[in-house]
């Protein structure tokens, strides 16, 4: 947003930087000095300056706009702030054009610019547009200039005025008053396609024992973590999906806003998606790294734990995961959030979910002809029965096959009955996220000991405390 021209050839424009799922509105300053041509950007660590500089200059020239003949300097504020992604391309370009007098400063007042620029001047979408526009509205900036591909996400924010522009040339024309592509979106038209793997059926289509079904109901009603032990053929992810599809209620208003912001920051809200209202299901592969599960990488992106916020995180064959990954999951189980620190930036992701861990009775997982020794079985189970196992109060044995139709069953009535059985508990105040660090540590303090033979002897759920 170009707010003022404090001196000759100086312009101020507002953009946004994203750290985790939290956006911060920053001021981008640009000045054009008389002298030798040059282009310097201050406040971007590493080699991001060169890439951003090249994109912005090429986009301006290929849009048919004049590039200033003097020395161009752009400041993004404190260099200690973590600059994520390419969303600063557009505010930098607008600041340079305003400082050079190519576009007027006044019409951009009260706006936030957030888009990447292609070399041809086209606006490209950026991740995290939901938290960016939320932070902009909180700061009094009710209008956002974004790429058209980001408009479905922006449409879910009522009261926000969006200017979707195809190119930098259109933005410049709009600032000159030649074209005002202002679109005020109404409230969200509908819910998003939910991040649940719809190929899984509900519990009514799964052949599970009454005890396992009861354990799933208790897990859903109280938000308790669950440990399922069974052979290779036992479909633990299908049971976790049944827990999400059949038993868990819709997300609360705050949870829906948090989950939508997380998926927006991860770039997983595609065209046509609005606010997410159903609990998500995440089933990472056992080869997933710490960064993939807890988050990190370029721009501190959310990992599987944060993407499962408000829903279920399923670790099938949990002992197959790296020990470091399992130990790291103790943080969200205890505190309900993931805290990442990279390059002077700290990102916090909400991560309150139900953990469903699947494990075989022994490393081979064979029903017949098992050759695993007691020592191998104990080492296999000890990978989970450490700090992570202390947070799992419920356990049950599941039989194969994990997915069968119940003979003579009526799926509709069965689903309704299961939902009604947990409706009263899930509707209690504080149910979702209520079984947090304090309550779990008080009610279920003991880790689950490995059986003497390495195999479960019954399907009766076991609890302690």
Q: Which two tokens stand for residue 274?
A: 């609005």
Structural contact between residues 60 and 93, judged by C-beta atoms closer than 8 angstroms: yes
Residue 433 has a pLDDT of 44
CATH of 203-443, one of 3.40.50.2030, 3.40.50.2300, 3.40.462.20, 3.40.50.300: 3.40.50.300
Element (H, E) at 374: helix 374-382
Q: State how far the Cα of 128 lies from the Cα of 144, in Å rounded to an integer.
A: 13
Residue 213 has a pLDDT of 83
Q: State how far the Cα of 160 lies from the Cα of 425, in Å rounded to an integer.
A: 37
Residue 169 has a pLDDT of 92
CA-nearest of 351, 340, 135, 129 to 259 is 351
- Concatenate the DSSP letters of all residues of 54-81 into one string: HHHHHHHHHTTPPPPSSEEEEE-S-TTS
Residue 447 has a pLDDT of 33
Q: Which two tokens stand for residue 182?
A: 């202002």
Q: State how far the Cα of 323 lies from the Cα of 318, in Å rounded to an integer.
A: 10
3-class SS letters over 317-328: CHHHCCHHHHHH
Neighbours of 361 (CB within 10 A): 22
- What letter would DSSP give residue 462? B
Q: How far is CA 69 from CA 36, 100, 360, in A?
A: 8, 9, 69
Q: State how far the Cα of 59 lies from the Cα of 133, in Å rounded to an integer.
A: 24
Residue 448 has a pLDDT of 32
- What letter would DSSP give residue 84? -
For the chain, 465 residues long, give each residue's pLDDT as a single digit of tens: 444 444 456 888 899 888 888 888 888 889 998 877 888 888 766 556 678 888 999 999 999 999 998 889 998 876 555 555 558 999 999 999 998 888 887 777 778 999 999 999 999 988 889 899 988 888 888 788 999 888 888 877 777 788 888 899 999 998 888 765 454 444 444 444 455 444 566 676 676 777 888 888 889 988 899 988 888 778 888 888 888 888 888 888 888 889 988 998 888 876 555 678 889 999 999 889 998 999 887 667 899 999 999 999 999 988 888 888 888 898 899 889 998 887 667 888 999 999 999 888 888 877 677 788 888 888 888 877 777 778 888 888 887 654 433 334 444 445 555 555 555 455 554 444 444 433 333 232 233 333 333 443 333 444 443
Residue 92 has a pLDDT of 93
Structural contact between residues 400 and 364, judged by C-beta atoms closer than 8 angstroms: no
Query: Tell me: domain 10-184, CATH 3.30.70.920, correct?
Result: no
Residue 431 has a pLDDT of 45
| Residue tagged 């932070």 (tokens) | 135
Residue 151 has a pLDDT of 84
3-class SS letters over 156-182: CCCCCEEEECCEHHHHHHHHCCCCCCC
Q: Which two tokens stand for residue 153?
A: 């996400």
Residue 257 has a pLDDT of 86
Q: State how far the Cα of 78 lies from the Cα of 216, in Å rounded to an integer.
A: 50
Element (H, E) at 286: none
Dihedral sign, CA of 89, 91, 97, 100? negative
Residue 171 has a pLDDT of 92
Q: State how far the Cα of 290 lies from the Cα of 304, in Å rounded to an integer.
A: 10
Q: Structure pTM?
A: 0.77
Task: Give me the residue spans of the domains in the chain.
Answer: 10-184, 203-443
CA-nearest of 319, 306, 235, 207 to 266 is 306
- Concatenate the DSSP letters of all residues of 195-217 into one string: SS-TTS--GGGS---HHHHHHHH
Residue 284 has a pLDDT of 93
Structural contact between residues 44 and 86, judged by C-beta atoms closer than 8 angstroms: no
**What SS3 class is residue 261?**
helix
Q: State how far the Cα of 15 lies from the Cα of 74, in Å rounded to an integer.
A: 13
């Amino acid at each position: 947003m170009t707010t003022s021209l404090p001196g000759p050839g100086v312009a101020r424009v507002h953009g946004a930087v994203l750290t985790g799922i939290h956006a911060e509105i920053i001021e981008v300053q640009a000045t054009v000095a008389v002298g030798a041509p040059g282009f310097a950007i201050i406040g971007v660590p590493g080699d991001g300056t060169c890439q951003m500089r090249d994109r912005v200059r090429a986009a301006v020239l290929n849009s048919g706009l004049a590039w200033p003949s003097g020395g161009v300097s752009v400041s993004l504020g404190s260099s200690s702030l973590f600059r994520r992604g390419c969303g600063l391309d557009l505010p930098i370009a607008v600041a340079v054009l305003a400082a050079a007098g190519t576009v007027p400063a006044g019409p951009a007042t009260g706006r936030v610019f957030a888009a990447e620029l292609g070399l041809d001047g086209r606006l490209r979408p950026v991740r995290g547009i939901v938290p960016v526009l939320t932070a902009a509205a909180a700061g009094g900036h009710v209008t956002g200039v974004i790429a058209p591909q980001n408009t479905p996400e922006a449409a879910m924010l009522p009261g926000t005025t969006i200017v979707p522009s195809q190119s930098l040339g259109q933005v410049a024309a709009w600032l000159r008053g030649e074209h005002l592509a202002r679109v005020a979106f109404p409230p969200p038209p509908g819910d998003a396609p939910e991040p649940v793997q719809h190929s899984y059926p509900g519990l009514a289509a799964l052949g599970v024992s009454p005890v396992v079904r009861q354990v799933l109901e208790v897990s859903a009603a109280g938000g308790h973590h669950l440990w399922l032990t069974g052979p290779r053929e036992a479909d633990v992810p299908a049971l976790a999906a049944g827990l999400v599809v059949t038993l868990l209620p819709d997300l609360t208003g705050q949870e829906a806003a948090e989950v939508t912001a997380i998926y927006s920051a991860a770039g997983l809200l595609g065209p046509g998606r609005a606010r997410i209202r159903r609990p998500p299901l995440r089933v990472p592969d056992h080869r997933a790294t710490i960064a993939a599960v807890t988050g990190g990488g370029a721009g501190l992106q959310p990992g599987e734990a944060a993407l499962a916020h408000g829903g279920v995180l399923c670790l099938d064959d949990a002992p197959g995961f790296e020990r470091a990954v399992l130990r790291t999951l103790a943080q969200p189980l205890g505190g309900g959030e993931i805290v990442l620190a990279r390059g002077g930036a700290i990102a916090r992701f909400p991560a309150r979910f139900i953990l469903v861990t699947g494990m075989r009775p022994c490393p081979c997982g064979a029903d017949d002809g098992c050759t695993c020794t007691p020592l191998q079985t104990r080492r296999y189970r000890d990978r989970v029965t450490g700090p992570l196992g202390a947070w799992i109060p419920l356990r049950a044995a599941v039989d194969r096959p994990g997915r069968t139709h119940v003979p003579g069953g009526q799926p509709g009535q069965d689903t309704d009955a299961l939902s009604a059985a947990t409706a009263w508990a899930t509707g209690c105040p504080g149910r979702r996220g209520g079984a947090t660090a304090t309550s779990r540590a008080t009610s279920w303090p003991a880790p689950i000991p490995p059986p003497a033979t390495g195999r479960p002897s019954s399907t009766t759920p076991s609890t302690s405390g």
